[in-house]
Amino acid sequence: MKQLKIHLPVKDIPRQWYNVLPSLPKPLPEAKDPKGDFSPIELMKKIRPRSLQEQDAAPNKWITIPEDVLDKYLKIGRPTLLQRAVNLEKYLKTPAKIFFKREDLLPTGSFKLNTSIAQAFYAKEEKFEGLISETGAGQWGTAVCVSAKLYDLQAQIFMARISYEQKLYRRYYMKLYGGDVYPSPSTKTAAGRKMLDDRPGHPGSIGTGISEAVETAANYNGKFAYVSGSNLPHVLLHQTVIGLETMKQMKLISEKPDILIACVGGGSNLGGFFLPFFEEKMKKPGSITFLAAESTAVPRLTKGTYRYDAGDSSGLTPLTKSYTLGQDFIPPEIHIGGLRQHSGSPIIGLLRHEGLLDAVAFDQTDIFEAGRLFSICEGILPAPESCHAISAAIKVALEAKEEGKERTIVFCLSGSGFFDLEGYRQILLSDKKKDVYAHA
């Protein structure tokens, strides 16, 4: 009988995060300041917890998870389930095995709590009074507000304006936990006001939210910590609990993945899922494939340029080297809020540049259709961001069918889609799109 759900015993929960920095094929390019008198690097030293800055350059391969963070991981439901998509396999008539890691089961409906809890812990230890951050679709903002409440901290969130308008319940969820939520660009900051002056009705992005969050944190003179939901090494570090658990679960059923798939915005769920398998890939390069799935509307890895760029829209953050569409890029008003970011993680960028990471992009209509199919087959409604990973998994499974090859596919189901039903309605139901997989 096929084992459909693979539980990891609580006693086997990872007690250390995996730090890929010492194992990278080349040193990670250092952050730089732009030309001029203003130093974003010095600004970040003032508004970010010192412990997190140290983790961004940690020399050790393993970093112990603090007991308090580990305790909260257990309370939110880690380890999470690894599940096999048997009905999807049958529908596609593929010889491939398809597994998915269920980060959608965490209380806020996404993987983001894995790092927000850790960042809130370090901020509290260092006597900050609150947390300030940006959010795209609202998954990260929700996680920040929940984690802030766990550590008796205040929270302020700048949410991309288009998502602020599209995803009302994410906004309400943040406020339920005491968070202050503002649409970005807003009139609360100089950066926001300038963006609105330059483009009235600006839809916002993760980059605009970062600009406003950094400016606001700076104005609090060290009382509020700026925390980030993606890109930075410490964020990917905390997310490695996803991949570490997956490795153990695959071993429990004597399976090895041929291909790992995750959606990619800033790169945190992708990095957290892939990086624990990195050393295995380096030892046997052909043994496992890393595949990033992104949006055709924000195609950083498939059409972007590998170069230095600021991570925000106003240039308040240090210049880091990764794939970027340019600081001035304004993403279209798509429903995939978590991927609306012009730049990405330097770690993910390096892997892509070195040929260790493949990438594919999908159209918004097609990914929502893939999410609908997955929901019908498996009874689980995925977030739009996660639908990109599902689309990639389907693509690989159909290729395996065409080639007559067995493949073991594992993808990260990074979030739940229950707060995104309006997106499903607008893209699928109102347009009455046909089932693109009807003849799979």
The contacts of residue 104 (CB under 8 Å, 6+ apart) are: 110, 380, 382, 383, 386, 413, 414, 415, 416
- Confidence band for 157, pLDDT divided at 50, 70 and 90: very high
Neighbours of 335 (CB within 10 A): 23
Is the previous residue joined to 79 through a cis bond, with omega within 30 degrees of 0?
yes
Query: What angle separates helix 139-150 from helix 168-176, to the nearest 10 degrees?
Result: 10
Listed range (107-121, 140-154, 199-213) with the worst mean pLDDT? 199-213
Give pLDDT, residue 437.
Answer: 53
- 136 has a pLDDT exceeding 80: yes
**Secondary structure of 250-310 in HEC code, one letter for each residue:** HHHCCCCCCEEEEECCCCHHHHHHHHHHHHHHHHCCCCCEEEEEEECCCCHHHHCEEEEEE
* Residue count (the chain): 440
CA neighbor of 293 nearest in space, from 312, 315, 310, 269: 269
Token duo for residue 422: 């309006």
Handedness of CA 78, 84, 85, 87 (dihedral sign): negative
Listed range (80-94, 145-159, 283-297, 423-437) with the worst mean pLDDT? 423-437
Average pLDDT, the chain: 94
| Alpha carbon distances (Å) from 215 to 188, 218, 224 | 10, 5, 11
Ordered DSSP codes for 72-137: HHHHHTPSPPEEE-HHHHHHHT-S-EEEEEEGGGSTTSBTTHHHHHHHHHHHHHTT--EEEEEESS
Report, as an integer, the average pLDDT of 73-85.
Answer: 98
- 433 has a pLDDT exceeding 80: no
Report percent pLDDT > 90 for the chain. 85
CA distance 109 to 415: 5
Under DSSP, the state recorded for 32 is: B
Report, as an integer, the average pLDDT of 112-124.
Answer: 98
- Confidence band for 435, pLDDT divided at 50, 70 and 90: low
**Residue labelled with tokens 């205040």:** 154
Q: What is the pLDDT of residues 315-339, one digit of tens each?
A: 999 999 999 999 888 887 777 766 8
Q: What is the pLDDT of residues 204-214, one digit of tens each?
A: 999 999 999 99
Instruction: Return the bridge partners of 83, or none.
Output: 5, 100
Report, as an integer, the average pLDDT of 6-23.
Answer: 97
Report, as an integer, the average pLDDT of 19-47.
Answer: 95
Give pLDDT, residue 426.
Answer: 86
Give pLDDT, residue 211.
Answer: 95
**Residue labelled with tokens 């926001």:** 192
CB 318 within 8 A of CB 310: yes
Report, as an integer, the average pLDDT of 232-245.
Answer: 98
CA distance 312 to 323: 14
- 1 has a pLDDT exceeding 60: no
Token duo for residue 229: 């939901």
The contacts of residue 390 (CB under 8 Å, 6+ apart) are: 367, 370, 371, 373, 374, 382, 411, 413
Q: What is the pLDDT of residues 250-294, one digit of tens each?
A: 999 999 999 999 999 989 999 999 999 999 999 988 899 999 999
The C-alpha R_g of the chain, in whole angstroms, comes to 20
- 434 has a pLDDT exceeding 70: no
CA neighbor of 183 nearest in space, from 202, 200, 197: 202
Listed range (197-201, 303-307, 421-425) with the worst mean pLDDT? 421-425
**Residue labelled with tokens 């459909």:** 4
- Confidence band for 439, pLDDT divided at 50, 70 and 90: very low
**Residue labelled with tokens 């209509």:** 365
Please indicate, yes or no, whether the overall pTM of this predicted structure exceeds 0.85: yes
Instruction: Return the bridge partners of 224, or none.
Output: 130
Under DSSP, the state recorded for 425 is: I
Give pLDDT, residue 94.
Answer: 98
CB 125 within 8 A of CB 106: no
Q: What is the pLDDT of residues 377-391, one digit of tens each?
A: 999 999 999 999 999
Q: Which domains does the chain have, with CATH numbers?
A: 5-11+67-109+233-429 (3.40.50.1100)
CB 414 within 8 A of CB 110: yes
Report percent pLDDT > 70 for the chain. 97
CB 151 within 8 A of CB 134: no
| Alpha carbon distances (Å) from 437 to 180, 394, 434 | 42, 9, 9
